[in-house]
Amino acid sequence: MTILSVVVLIPLCSLVVFSAQLSPSEFLHTITTPRVLKSYWISIACAFSASVVNAFMGLSLAWILVRYEFPGKRLVDGIIELPFALPTAVAGIALTHMTTVNGWIGKLFFDLFNVRIAYTPLGIVVALIFIGIPFVVRSVQPVLEKIDVQYEEAASILGASRRRTFLRVIFPEILPALISGFSLAFARCIGEYGSVVFISGNIPYKTEIAPLMIMSQLQEYDYASATSIALVMLAIAFVILFVNAVLQSLVSKRVSGIS
Amino acid sequence: MQMNRENAFIKWTLIVGCELFLALFLILPLVFIIQTAFAQGLATYCNSITDQYAVKAAWLTVKATLWAVGVNTLFGLSAAWCITKFAFRGKKIISTFIDLPVTVSPIIAGLIYVLTFGRQSFLFPLLDKYDIEIIFATPGIILATIFVTFPFISRELIPVLTAQGVDEEEAASLMGARTWTIFRKVTLPHIKWALLYGVVLCTARAMGEFGAVSVLSGHLRGKTNTLPLYIELLYQGYDFTGAFAASSILVLLTIIILILRVWLEGRGNKRMELRH
């Protein structure tokens, strides 16, 4: 238990001690600067859109992995964890270099749709989609595996269409897992730094994310501002996890209410 | 009949869609890294990865990873052991704290260490007196790496130990075995695969950590630059071939880790099936 206290508790205490020294007005002033507010907004908006995409893709991926047999299934199953194992900086430079207007994908998009990916909020979303995929898949997959096919058979014998079966029988069962996967990905994406810092281009007010704001304050040795911004980010992360917990209990109540 | 046809259509659309998505988002970047790394020929590639700073950065990464894996294995084992085998107060709080590093942004992880050991900390005079450097030095990097990989091993072990229960340990202890013998002969064989799996996850995360280490390192070339930081430096210096060459080493390690992971998972599942 000593290690726990040295590695986690003491640093956390120092965060609390240090923030207690901040005056409230200074704290408010730092976190309401337009640039900082904007960076929170960018972080949240990009993380949210990326997580929505991941919720859909993660659900389909989990579905095909559990229910279907197809060539390359083992490969798909193995490679899902890639974003987790690949160093974020490596992912960051690869995605950036690919999506600049001279890169493979970036050139294609720029020529066809006149859309730039790297150095825009779209780039941030792309990087965050990359980071978040495993979270949703790995939360939904085990639950989907446990669902008994009998329920679906029963539903179809009773005359329900495939879509109706999915919406009324399967979906409510996996909804809690989907929500928790979504919130994990969301929380992780808000704090993500390594992969985003390259692709975003860090243009103030446009593609500057909140972790980057902390970083730049730190490089100016302005620990007070850095801590204030960090505290707000911690609060946001806790709110996400809290909302997740509330939704979990609501959803599970509803599901048990139906059956 | 009609249901089957509809299913087949949905099935293949989903499979093809998902495979395309994965190919685009996951496989293409890997191919791209390798292609760019070798774009200027094998000689340039070899030069880039044998550069003295690259070798030093790689060495520091290995060192930090070994430390993190070592400390976290020790901690993960003891934490999982405490949490599952004994009942005590504050158990929930401890497991919450263990999981905390996963949800905290790596930048914030770095920040709290700067606040703890940096110049403005209450600990600083003490550290200064004994001439201990933590921030902007190797110990800081190691600490940050330990922090971000903190929960990985204990999280893998806790479910396995919970499922196993305490009966066998109690039996062994009644027969007069000492704690260490019980651990070695009874507990360890059960958790072997989960432990290895945790170690693999921990290694993956430790070697690639960027955010927290970046806050703490001070970016001294050849001294406190880990491989990911070195890659950043090269990339921002527009040395793309060098950056991607250094990345290719990490990509190779990642692929090895993924293969190990799938293999370990297979072994773990087989054991579970045998037992039931």
Q: What fold is seen in the domain B42-275?
A: MetI-like fold (1.10.3720)
CATH number at A202 reads 1.10.3720.10
What backbone phi and psi angles, to 5 degrees, belong to A117? -105, -55
* Dihedral (CA of A164, A170, A172, A174) sign: negative
The per-residue pLDDT for A259 is: 41
The per-residue pLDDT for A48 is: 92
Nearest to A78 among B104, B122, B262 (CB): B262
CA dihedral B40, B42, B44, B50 (to 10 degrees): 150
Q: Which two tokens mark A49?
A: 């859109």
> B28 in contact with A at a CB cutoff of 8 Å?
yes
C-beta neighbour count of B125 within 10 angstroms: 9
Name the closest residue on chain B to residue A56, using Cα atoms.
Answer: B18
The per-residue pLDDT for B3 is: 47
> B79 in contact with A at a CB cutoff of 8 Å?
yes
Nearest to B211 among A63, A104, A193 (CB): A193
What backbone phi and psi angles, to 5 degrees, belong to B209? -60, 135
Q: Which residue segment(s) compose the domain that A161 sits in? A: 26-258
Q: How many CA atoms lie within 13 A of B271 on its CB side?
A: 14
CA distance A76 to A83: 13
- Residue A35 inside a domain? The answer is yes
- Residue A126 inside a domain? The answer is yes
CA distance A129 to A133: 6
Closest Cα in chain B, distance from residue A88 (Å):
6
Name the closest residue on chain A to residue B101, using Cα atoms.
Answer: A8
Chain-chain contact of A17 with B257 (C-beta, under 8 angstroms): no
Cα–Cα separations (whole angstroms), residue A250 to A136, A177, A255, B104, B276: 20, 13, 9, 26, 35
DSSP B115-130: HHHSTTSTTHHHHHHT
Average pLDDT for A138-158: 82
- Residue A20 inside a domain? The answer is no
The answer to whether the beta carbons of residues B40 and B216 sit under 8 Å apart is no
Report, in angstroms and rounded to the nearest whole number, the Rg of chain B calculated over CA atoms.
Answer: 23
Cα–Cα separations (whole angstroms), residue B109 to A149, B114, B254: 44, 9, 23
Report, in angstroms and rounded to the nearest whole number, the Rg of chain A calculated over CA atoms.
Answer: 22
Higher pLDDT, A240 or A5: A240
Tell whether the model's pLDDT for residue A2 goes beyond 70: no
Nearest to A218 among B79, B111, B210 (CB): B111
- Residue A143 inside a domain? The answer is yes
Name the closest residue on chain A to residue B78, using Cα atoms.
Answer: A1
The predicted-structure confidence for A86-144, as pLDDT tens digits, reads as follows 888 888 888 888 887 777 777 777 777 877 777 788 888 888 988 888 888 888 888 88
- Residue A4 inside a domain? The answer is no
Inter-helix orientation angle B138-148/B188-208, to 10°? 120
> B20 in contact with A at a CB cutoff of 8 Å?
no
CA dihedral B205, A55, A112, B30 (to 10 degrees): 20
Cβ under 8 Å to A: B residues 171-230: 201, 204-205, 207-211, 214-215, 227-229
Closest Cα in chain A, distance from residue B106 (Å):
7
Chain-chain contact of A192 with B115 (C-beta, under 8 angstroms): no
The per-residue pLDDT for A52 is: 92
CA distance B120 to B167: 51
What is the number of domains present in chain A? Answer: 1
Cα–Cα separations (whole angstroms), residue B67 to A197, A244, B158, B253: 27, 34, 22, 18
Higher pLDDT, B40 or A228: A228
Which among B80, B266, B270, B275 is positioned nearest to B183, based on CA atoms? B80
The per-residue pLDDT for B2 is: 42
Most distant CA pair in chain A: distance in Å?
68
Plot region of A147 (φ>0 → left; ψ -120 to 50 → alpha; else → beta): beta
DSSP B173-227: HHTT--HHHHIIIIIHHHHHHHHHHHHHHHHHHHHH--HHHHHHH---TTTT--H
The per-residue pLDDT for A1 is: 61
Closest Cα in chain A, distance from residue B174 (Å):
27
Inter-helix orientation angle B240-275/B41-50, to 10°? 80
According to DSSP H, which parts of chain A are helical?
2-4, 10-21, 24-31, 34-67, 73-79, 82-85, 88-99, 104-113, 121-146, 149-157, 162-165, 171-191, 194-200, 210-219, 223-258
Q: How many CA atoms lie within 13 A of A166 on its CB side?
A: 9
Higher pLDDT, B98 or A82: A82
pLDDT band at A82 (very low <50, low <70, confident <90, very high): confident
pLDDT band at A227 (very low <50, low <70, confident <90, very high): confident
Chain-chain contact of A86 with B254 (C-beta, under 8 angstroms): yes
The per-residue pLDDT for A217 is: 81
Chain-chain contact of A64 with B231 (C-beta, under 8 angstroms): no
DSSP B29-75: HHHHHHHHHTTTHHHHHHHHHH-HHHHHHHHHHHHHHHHHHHHHHHH
| Interface test with chain A among B13, B14, B16, B18, by most A beta carbons within 10 Å | B18
CA distance B256 to B252: 6
Nearest to B258 among A72, A85, A187 (CB): A85
The low-confidence residues of chain B, meaning pLDDT below 50, are 1-5, 276
| Interface test with chain A among B7, B104, B111, B113, by most A beta carbons within 10 Å | B111
Cα–Cα separations (whole angstroms), residue A137 to A40, A84, A101, B15: 27, 12, 31, 14
Burial code of B141-162, b = ≥16 C-beta within 10 A, e = fewer? bbbbbbbbbbbbbbbbbbebbe
